[in-house]
Amino acid sequence: MVKDKAKVVLGIYTALLLAFFLAPLAMVVILSFKAGASMSFPIERFSLDWYFAPPGKLGTGGFRTGIFYDPYVIEAVKNSLTVGIITGILAFAIGLPTALAFRYRFVGRDILFYIILTGFLLPGVIMGLGAVLFYKMIGVKEFSLWTVIPIHLIYTLPFSFILVLARFDPMLVEYEKAARALGASGWEVFKKITFPLIKTEALAFFIFSFTLSLGELLRTSYVIAGTGTIPTYIYNQMSVVAPTPKWYAMGTITTAISFGVLLVGALLLTRGARRAF
């Protein structure tokens, strides 16, 4: 009886937790299909105008143009994808070898670990202000996507690093030792033993870093100029223009990209298991 009550309580708690997380997302998606520019409720009519309306259909001003016809929105999406992809690749190239090295004891290992964690321990405002000062000190005169990427890498790398480090097979080192004892070179060990056993973790490095980069706002806003990424563009526009369902449409597209990447990653990560089945 007590166990049954505990299951009911746990089920209710889980349902409330999921509702808390999913309700705001659902509202963003629903509002993106609302006809008209007002944000009033109830919603009387739904429309695809905020996605596909050409210039002029919804009135004057670019803020009343469907997102797929708005060149600034398209540029912001391209910027976000560019920054996210490069950040994911760099996180993979830097973080994966670092995580592999952390399986062994070496001088300064603990200090390096806490330095890596600093990326998400520091408040975003502090990191943004520090980045501005650093770029001025080294002579950077104009901010661009290239000034954003290092900040995103510092921010996303710790999350991916900890996630991957905890998933390594404890026996991986023994497999590598056995391969070396049989005469395999360091590259052969990595190519034929290490990487096949950690390809899931390697893909996770890219996916996790990409999705975090795609939605990052606070740190990005300090070191970017021009149209910016999707989050900074939405934030800057909503600071000067009354909110309309267009911004919810942009949020829906951003979420769709993130979920699409996660879905592709999940399919790739489970491909071997599905083939075996």
Coil, helix or strand for 59? Answer: strand
Residue range 223-239, pLDDT digits in tens: 998 888 989 998 888 78
Alpha carbon distance 260, 186 (integer Å): 36
Picking from 162, 187, 160, the residue whose alpha carbon sits closest to that of residue 176 is 187
The pLDDT value given to residue 271? 59
Whole-number pLDDT of residue 276 = 46
- What fold does the segment set 71-276 form as a domain? MetI-like fold (1.10.3720)
- Cβ–Cβ < 8 Å for 205, 123: no
Residues 69-74, mean pLDDT to the nearest whole number:
87
Residue with tokens 């071997």: 272
**Chain centroid to CA 108:** 30
Backbone angles phi, psi at 59, to 5 degrees: 115, 180
> Mean pLDDT across the chain, nearest whole number?
82
Query: What pLDDT does 32 receive?
Result: 85
The residue ranges of every structural domain in the chain are 71-276
Preceding omega of 24 cis (within 30 degrees of 0) = no
pLDDT band at 57 (very low <50, low <70, confident <90, very high): low
Binning pLDDT at 50, 70 and 90, where does residue 87 land?
very high
Q: pTM for the full model?
A: 0.82
User: Cβ–Cβ contacts within 10 Å for residue 172, how many?
Assistant: 15
| CA separation for the pair 132, 147 (Å, rounded) | 9
Which comes out higher in pLDDT, residue 58 or 4?
4
Q: How far apart are CA 81 and CA 66, in angstroms?
A: 20
Rg (CA), the chain: 23
Q: Beta partners for 34?
A: 46
Query: Once rounded to an integer, what is the mean pLDDT over residues 247-264?
Result: 84
At residue 2, the pLDDT reads 58
| Residue 22 identity | L
Handedness of CA 75, 77, 80, 84 (dihedral sign): negative
Q: What is the pLDDT of residue 223?
A: 92
Write down the pLDDT at residue 59.
Answer: 55
pLDDT, tens digit, for every residue of 127-172?
Answer: 989 999 999 999 888 898 899 999 999 998 888 788 777 767 778 7
Map residue 42 onto helix, strand or coil. coil
The mean pLDDT value for 211-228 works out to 89
Residue with tokens 């009519």: 45
- Helix orientation angle between 145-165 and 71-101, rounded to the nearest 10 degrees: 40
Enter the tokens of residue 46.
């739904």
Please give the Cα distance from 106 to 109 (Å, whole number). 6
The pLDDT of residue 58 is 58
The dihedral through the CA atoms of 53, 59, 60, 61 has a sign that is: negative
DSSP single-letter state for residue 191: I
How sure is the predictor about 3, in pLDDT bands with cuts at 50, 70 and 90? low
Contact yes or no for 213/87 (Cβ under 8 A): yes
With 0-12 CB in 10 A as exposed, 13-18 as middle and 19+ as buried, what is 161? buried
